[in-house]
């Protein structure tokens, strides 16, 4: 049955940065597909509220919260161990936590540059290898890295973000090179412009917002729900021979000039 291919019952999924936005929508989608979902973020109150909302939206869903900063190795190691203790291990990791800082390269401090790289790239390496150690031992596991159209396209004022997301695309390939032989599947999703807290100032700017709708063949901003199907697909048996790929979910933005 085709629908069984998408069934995630019995799988445990950690979605980093899932107290709001894309990560939260993806977590809801994985829970609807049957997975036990672990929400994450740094703000414990907000993550707890997201857990309660998920339980209300998906009746019967198994949903937990483990908060840690994805850029802090000790916190990452402790957080992943806590999930293993409570749930017996992680089958699906979505490296989603990220942020963007808008400033020209001439004004950007090195500290800010490093902060963006640490949050948007180094975090995937830290959380990825911590989770992958157990996945390799078990001979299976899925990792989904949330990239961006900025893996392919550059805009002014977001140089560290663009560099980090381009790096994340190639980190996805590097993870595939090291871990696919041990039964892991590592893929990326590259969203186009999605209306979230991260992009709220851009959505509110008529000039920028008009540029997005004009530049996107689908003629609209993406919604967080646009990411559900792709994430469930890559986490599921339906993607059993998909490895090292980046799935662009951008309304066609990167397909046209
Ligand atoms: P939001 O700002 O809405 O949500 C970000 C989430 O990440 C929050 O849950 C936040 O929680 C968490 N987070 C941020 N930093 C850390 C950290 N150091 N440790 C743990 N959690 C953290 O962003 P979006 O949902 O828009 O973006 C999610 C991902 O999608 C990002 O990687 C982004 O680059 C990517 N993306 C977004 C696009 C868009 O148009 N929105 C387009 C393409 C890619 P808290 O603050 O409590 O830590």
User: According to the 3-state scheme, what is the secondary structure of 97-158?
Assistant: CCCCCCCCCCCCCHHHHHHHHHHHHHHHHHHHHHHHHHHHHHCCEEEEEECCHHHCCCCCCC
pLDDT number for residue 42: 98
CA distance 73 to 122: 10
CA distance 257 to 236: 33
Average pLDDT value for residue range 25-44: 98
pLDDT number for residue 104: 98
Average pLDDT value for residue range 31-55: 98
Average pLDDT value for residue range 149-155: 96
Task: State which of 149, 198, 202 you would mutate to test the pocket of ligand 1, scoring each by most atoms of that ligand within 8 A of its C-beta.
Answer: 198
CA distance 203 to 14: 29
Average pLDDT value for residue range 163-185: 98
pLDDT number for residue 190: 98
Note whether residue 255 is domain-resident: no
Note whether residue 64 is domain-resident: yes
Q: Determine the distance from the C-alpha atom of residue 192 to the mean position of all C-alpha atoms in its chain, rounded to a whole number.
A: 13
Query: Does the Cβ of 76 fall within 6 Å of ligand 1?
Result: no
Structural domain harbouring 60:
2-249
Query: Does the Cβ of 150 fall within 6 Å of ligand 1?
Result: no
User: Residue 216: enclosing H or E segment and its boundaries?
Assistant: none
pLDDT number for residue 11: 98
CA distance 93 to 118: 18
**pLDDT tens string 230-255:** 999 999 999 999 999 999 999 999 99
Query: Does the Cβ of 191 fall within 6 Å of ligand 1?
Result: yes
Closest ligand 1 atom to the C-alpha of 150?
43
Note whether residue 235 is domain-resident: yes
pLDDT number for residue 241: 98
Query: Does the Cβ of 99 fall within 6 Å of ligand 1?
Result: yes
pLDDT number for residue 34: 98
Note whether residue 256 is domain-resident: no
Query: Does the Cβ of 146 fall within 6 Å of ligand 1?
Result: yes
Q: What percent of the chain has pLDDT over 70?
A: 100
Q: How far is the CA of 173 from the centre of ligand 1 (A)?
A: 22
CATH number at residue 103: 3.40.50.720
Query: Does the Cβ of 221 fall within 6 Å of ligand 1?
Result: no
**pLDDT tens string 187-222:** 999 999 999 999 999 999 999 999 999 999 999 999
Note whether residue 254 is domain-resident: no
Task: State which of 97, 171, 215 you would mutate to test the pocket of ligand 1, scoring each by most atoms of that ligand within 8 A of its C-beta.
Answer: 97
**In this structure, which residue's CA is closest to atom 23 in ligand 1?**
198
Average pLDDT value for residue range 132-137: 98
Contact call for residues 253 and 192 (beta carbons, < 8 A): yes
Q: Rounded mean pLDDT of the chain?
A: 98
Q: How far is the CA of 3 from the centre of ligand 1 (A)?
A: 30
Note whether residue 257 is domain-resident: no
Closest ligand 1 atom to the C-alpha of 19?
9
Distance in Å from the first CA to the final CA of the chain: 40
pLDDT number for residue 207: 97
Q: How far is the CA of 16 from the centre of ligand 1 (A)?
A: 8
pLDDT number for residue 93: 99
Note whether residue 21 is domain-resident: yes
Active site residues: 161
If one counts the domains in the chain, the total is 1
Q: Nearest CA to 15 among 37, 33, 34? A: 37
pLDDT band of residue 90 (cuts 50, 70, 90) is very high
Query: Does the Cβ of 248 fall within 6 Å of ligand 1?
Result: no
Q: Residue 144 is encoded by which pair of tokens? A: 């989904």
Q: Strand pairing partners for 64?
A: 38
The order of strands in the sheet holding 36-39 is 63-65, 36-39, 12-15, 92-95, 141-146, 184-191, 246-249
Note whether residue 73 is domain-resident: yes
Closest ligand 1 atom to the C-alpha of 21?
25
Closest ligand 1 atom to the C-alpha of 69?
19
Closest ligand 1 atom to the C-alpha of 191?
43
């Amino acid at each position: 049955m085709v629908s069984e291919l998408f069934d995630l019952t019995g799988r445990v999924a950690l979605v980093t940065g899932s107290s709001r936005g894309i990560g939260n929508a993806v977590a809801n989608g994985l829970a609807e597909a049957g997975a036990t979902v672990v929400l994450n973020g740094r703000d414990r109150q907000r993550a707890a509220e997201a857990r309660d909302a998920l339980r209300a939206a998906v009746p019967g869903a198994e949903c937990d919260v483990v908060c840690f900063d994805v850029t802090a190795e000790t916190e990452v190691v402790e957080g992943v161990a806590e999930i293993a203790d409570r749930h017996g291990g992680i089958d699906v990791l979505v490296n989603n936590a990220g942020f963007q800082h808008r400033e020209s390269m001439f004004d950007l401090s090195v500290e800010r540059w490093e902060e963006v790289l640490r949050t948007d790239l180094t975090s995937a390496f830290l959380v990825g290898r911590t989770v992958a150690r157990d996945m390799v031992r078990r001979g299976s596991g899925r990792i989904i890295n949330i990239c961006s159209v900025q893996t392919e396209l550059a805009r002014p004022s977001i140089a560290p973000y663009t560099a980090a997301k381009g790096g994340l695309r190639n980190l996805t390939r590097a993870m595939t090179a090291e871990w696919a032989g041990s039964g892991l599947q590592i893929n990326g999703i590259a969203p186009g412009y999605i209306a979230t807290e991260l992009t709220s100032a851009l959505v509110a700017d008529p000039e920028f917002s008009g540029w997005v709708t004009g530049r996107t063949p689908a003629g609209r901003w993406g919604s967080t729900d646009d990411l559900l199907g792709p994430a469930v697909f890559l986490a599921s048996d339906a993607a059993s021979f998909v490895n090292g790929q980046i799935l662009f979910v951008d309304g066609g933005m990167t397909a046209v000039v």
